[in-house]
Structure 1
């Protein structure tokens, strides 16, 4: 089992690096948007917005969460839908590759991508804008891993629900931009109206953003947001894994 996961993960990682859209949304776009925001807002704290911390201090953990969303909403669904479209899943089933091996390898690739994206963002924020290190590395790491699993479950669900890679990409990009704009990685949450705040609360990214921000800013692990993310894992995973077994 471990040897199979290691072999498949290495192949999947190389395939991930060959997907330009996924690489751009994971490693290039978040730092670029963070740079633009830094030029507009700077990093001077304002008690009326960004929960009283500097804008880039607020946005850096939020954009690490956004990297996870990029992988789960765009990279993984497109990859799985492409596998279905080209009959790869049927060949994997014929080769008797367990679904759990495929899922474990996808989560591994997502985790590697999330760590790489986080390193790029943190390096830029630290060197260029003197953003402080997280108050709790363990808390941030815990939230990041849980976010990878939650968005991985959502990604598998999208990937098995659509018929083509192009459709998966369209749905994923649309969801990504929607979540980015209202979940704390776009305009300051304080300026959003009541309706938009309600929409943000219903979206997974908002919960991951807060789960990463709180230990980063010294507030400890947010167990309420942790419970929401675990619920996403249970519901999305409970729907996605049986569907993937049927279509594999």
Structure 2
């Protein structure tokens, strides 16, 4: 028995990439119209670095951290802060709001499938996090003389894995949150432990050995270890990269399993 494609199906197939691209452009415009999102995702990590870098003692070498400066440790922390804001605070409420208002369900009747909207959000917030990270690195170098990554390939790999992990964490938060308010509540509950393990209040490198050993098994703790090693000119430890990869796979699997379009 043979089947033939209907004209509607044939017409919709080539239309989907164009529709998906148009959807991505629309999501970018909506994102750029949100001053709060722009500030917290792109600007606030650099503001955090600038505030900490303005403390004179943070710009002085310390023998307790191998002759490095505290501001040097906070550049990777500010980068991770950007990923946390993008993955946990910005993306989940948007996706949950779309689902709550039935937008994802209505998209299933158009050439653009709901998955295209999810993909657009992942691309948008991943790109915003990377822009924020570049801004942090630039200000750290120009304003405070922080050395750029000594091992650039290792840094890029660690950064991309960290972005993937933070977005996977945000997708998992969205998957378990049925409403926009729930997404904000769950995201906030995950937000503060993530800030701690990223080293925002105390850099991972300055934590007591036992605590540091525990924190480095978390996705952001492993990311902090990997980024800091690459900044110092060393290839990130394979254990840190492996932990990051494992968390990304597990969180992505959880998000796929629990996510509902309506």
The TM-score, its normalising length taken from structure 2, stands at 0.82
Equivalent residue number for residue 59 of structure 2: 43
- The answer on 1:65 being equivalent to 2:86 is no
Structure of higher RCO (CA pairs closer than 8 Å, 6+ residues apart): 1
Aligned partners of 1:27 and 1:216: how far apart in 2? 21
Greater shift after overlay, 129-138 or 8-17? 8-17
Q: 1:242 to 1:66 in 2, by over 3 A?
A: same
* 1:81-120 correspondence runs (5 A): 81-95=96-110, 97-120=112-135
What is the CA distance between 1:96 and its match in structure 2? 5.1
The residue matched to 2:243 in structure 1 has which SS? helix
The TM-score, its normalising length taken from structure 1, stands at 0.87
Give the alignment partner of residue 94 of structure 2, picking from 65, 68, 79: 79
Equivalent residue number for residue 247 of structure 1: 261
The residue matched to 1:97 in structure 2 has which SS? coil
Unpaired stretches in structure 2, ≥5 consecutive residues: 1-15
Conserved 8 A contact 2:77-2:203: no
What is the CA distance between 1:227 and its match in structure 2? 1.1
* 1:112-191 correspondence runs (5 A): 112-189=127-204
Conserved 8 A contact 1:204-1:229: yes
Aligned partners of 1:92 and 1:171: how far apart in 2? 26
* Structure number with bigger Rg: 2
Q: Deviations over 1:40-89 (max 9, x none)?
A: 3332221213x542211211122112211211111111111111111111
The residue matched to 1:24 in structure 2 has which SS? helix
Conserved 8 A contact 1:66-1:205: no
Root-mean-square deviation over aligned CA pairs? 2.4
Greater shift after overlay, 165-174 or 127-136? 165-174
Aligned partners of 1:89 and 1:164: how far apart in 2? 13
What is the CA distance between 1:5 and its match in structure 2? 4.2
Aligned partners of 1:59 and 1:69: how far apart in 2? 15
Q: 1:156 to 1:189 in 2, by over 3 A?
A: closer
How many aligned positions are there? 246
Greater shift after overlay, 202-211 or 66-75? 202-211
Q: 1:132 to 1:195 in 2, by over 3 A?
A: closer
